[in-house]
Amino acid sequence: MISDLHSERSAIIEAIDVLERFAKTRGKRRGRPPVWLALARGLDPSPLEDKKPVRGAETRKRMAEAQKRRWAAYRQAKEASAS
């Protein structure tokens, strides 16, 4: 019986901690919940973590070439407006 009361007390303390954290962040965050809240709810946090998109070498090369073209166009426009 005592061990049950201890486990219940720890569960209540944990619930209070979660509610206090939730109250502190209330209104400041929009969108998906923070990882600690997902863990408190028993959800899997892995889909909640931000992940960088995986891009292949060919895609990265095309993106780099497109960025170089954008910078070249920017420099040409800057030279034309300065002249």
Q: Are residues 39 and 74 in the same domain?
A: no
Q: Are residues 45 and 69 in the same domain?
A: no
The pTM of the full predicted model, rounded to 2 decimals, is 0.38
Tell which residue, 48, 42, 49, has the closest CA to residue 15. Answer: 42
Q: Does the pLDDT of residue 49 top 60, yes or no?
A: no
Q: Are residues 47 and 59 in the same domain?
A: no
pLDDT tens-digit readout, 5-17: 999 999 999 888 8
Number of structural domains the chain divides into: 2
Q: Tell me what the mean pLDDT of segment 39-60 comes to.
A: 75
Q: What is the mean pLDDT of the chain?
A: 82
Tell which residue, 51, 27, 47, 52, has the closest CA to residue 35. Answer: 47
Position with higher pLDDT, 17 vs 50: 17
- Strand (E) or helix (H) holding 33: none
Q: How far apart are CA 32 and CA 54, in angstroms?
A: 21
